[in-house]
């Protein structure tokens, strides 16, 4: 009833290739974006923007980057946190060493640095895959963690090893209020999400998926594995690097090397498993789930008046996340995104199922 595409005919190739071929989807996305850009900044409290929405958006962006690699190209990575760190530290060094550079250019350059690092550590993927690649990316994680903690040049010789960049300036405006930060992050996320969505619909995304599904067959039909895999590593790390720069500059403000550790990498991997591998939408679901669940767990017992120590809550969170990972892998490997599309299918017939 609500969600039915009767009477919507595709009369041109353009229509057929649209990102959202169904009118209701277009209306829904348009309304969502309008709310996100216009209503949310004026209504949401400072806490909601700073502690809920901004980190959620950045997590979602990083998850999209990782999903391009794991969900679309089938190359597992446990080093996402390290590539976020490359983006964050590259942005930091660019800002303090070349202060006159526009921050958008800084973001792009930081992303490119992360892409270079990603390609470097992606080289083993040309010879190995699966479990072995997981270890290779773990090497990236540990090495890069160490590098930023120990090589003083990266942290501009700060004595504690932590860095605290100044507020972002963009076209003469200082982005320091939660509203401005939120809008800035939202804009970046929307642009990169759109880019990622179109990338995976196009030529290169299809190459990645072919490699993921069966690399030998992909090679036989003329896809160069070297090119496809390295491009997946590069694009994925670019997005992850931009997310890392945003995470450092906008969300954390000041950070120490441990901010981008293995735990972050694992969390991002869990986001795409829970949200849905090979789905851009799923990244948002997964990021929302992984970011809001601990907050909810922290608030709920207090709201209900049940006394639970914070340590227990932290352990409880580990247990819930761990159990859910196994649950989703067994029951619904395509994650929340798949549940969403099942819901949409049901809505086409509802409320007259015959």
Partner 1 sequence: MTSKNLPVTILLGLLAVGMFLPLAQAGTATGFWLEVLIGGLMAGVLYALVALGFVLIFKASGVFNFAQGAMVLFAALALARLAEWMPLWLAFVLAALIMVAFAWVVERLVLRKLVNQEGVTLLMATLGIAFFLDGFGQTIWGSDIYKIDLGISKEPLLALQSVFEGGILLNRDDILAAVIATLLVLALALFFQKTPTGRALRAVADDHQAAQSIGIPLSTIWVIVWSVAGFVALVAGMVWGGKLGVQFSLQEIALRALPVVILGGFTSVPGAIIGGLIIGVGEKMSEVFLAPILVKAFDLAGGGIENWFAYVLALVFLLVRPEGLFGEKHIDRV
For partner 1, the binding residues (CB under 8 A) are: 74, 76, 123-132, 134-136, 138-139, 142-143, 145-146, 149-153, 161, 215, 225, 262, 266, 269-270, 273, 311-312, 314-326, 329-330, 333
Say what the alpha-carbon torsion angle 74, 76, 81, 84 is, to the nearest 10 degrees: -30
Residues with Cβ within 8 Å of residue 67, at least 6 apart in sequence: 272, 275, 277, 278, 279, 280, 282, 283
Closer by beta carbon to partner 1, 108 or else 262: 262
| Spatial separation of the C-alpha atoms in residues 112 and 106, rounded to whole Å | 10
Min dist. Cβ of residue 98 to partner 1 (A): 22
- The secondary structure of residue 350, as a DSSP letter, is T
Min dist. Cβ of residue 76 to partner 1 (A): 5
CA-nearest of 294, 233, 339, 318 to 59 is: 294
Min dist. Cβ of residue 151 to partner 1 (A): 6
Closer by beta carbon to partner 1, 183 or else 273: 273
Min dist. Cβ of residue 32 to partner 1 (A): 30
Give yes or no for a cis peptide into 330 (omega within 30° of 0). no
Closer by beta carbon to partner 1, 54 or else 290: 290
Min dist. Cβ of residue 128 to partner 1 (A): 5
Q: Is the sign of the CA dihedral 292, 297, 302, 305 positive or negative?
A: positive
Closer by beta carbon to partner 1, 28 or else 146: 146
Closer by beta carbon to partner 1, 145 or else 193: 145
């Amino acid at each position: 009833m609500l969600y039915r595409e009767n009477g919507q005919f595709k009369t041109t190739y353009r229509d057929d290739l649209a990102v959202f071929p169904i009118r209701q989807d277009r209306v829904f996305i348009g309304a969502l974006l309008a709310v996100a850009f216009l209503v949310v900044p004026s209504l949401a409290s400072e806490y909601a923007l700073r502690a809920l929405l901004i980190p959620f958006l950045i997590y979602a962006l990083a998850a999209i980057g990782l999903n391009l690699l794991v969900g679309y190209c089938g190359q597992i990575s446990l080093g996402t946190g390290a590539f976020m760190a490359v983006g964050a530290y590259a942005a930091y060094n660019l800002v303090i060493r070349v202060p006159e550079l526009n921050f958008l250019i800084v973001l792009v350059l930081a992303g490119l640095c992360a892409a270079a690092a990603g390609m470097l550590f992606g080289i083993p993927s040309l010879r190995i895959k699966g479990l072995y690649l997981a270890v290779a990316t773990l090497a990236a994680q540990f090495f890069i963690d160490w590098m930023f903690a120990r090589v003083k040049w990266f942290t501009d010789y700060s004595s504690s090893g932590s860095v605290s960049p100044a507020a972002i300036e963009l076209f003469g405006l200082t982005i320091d209020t939660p509203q401005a930060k939120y809008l800035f992050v939202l804009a970046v996320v929307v642009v990169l999400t759109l880019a990622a969505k179109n990338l995976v619909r196009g030529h290169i995304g299809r190459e990645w998926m072919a490699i993921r599904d069966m690399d030998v067959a992909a090679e036989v039909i003329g896809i160069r594995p070297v090119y496809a895999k390295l491009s997946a590593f590069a694009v994925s790390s670019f997005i992850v690097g931009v997310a890392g720069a945003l995470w450092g500059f906008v969300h954390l403000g000041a950070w120490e090397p441990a901010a981008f550790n293995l735990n972050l990498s694992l969390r991002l991997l869990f986001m795409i498993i829970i949200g849905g591998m090979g789905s851009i939408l799923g990244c948002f679901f997964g990021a929302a789930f992984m970011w809001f669940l601990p907050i909810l767990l922290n608030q709920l017992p207090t709201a209900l008046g049940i006394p639970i120590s914070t340590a227990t809550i932290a352990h409880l969170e580990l247990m819930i996340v761990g159990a859910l990972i196994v649950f989703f892998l067994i029951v619904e490997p395509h994650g929340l995104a798949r549940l969403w599309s099942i819901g949409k299918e049901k809505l086409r017939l509802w409320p007259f199922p015959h």
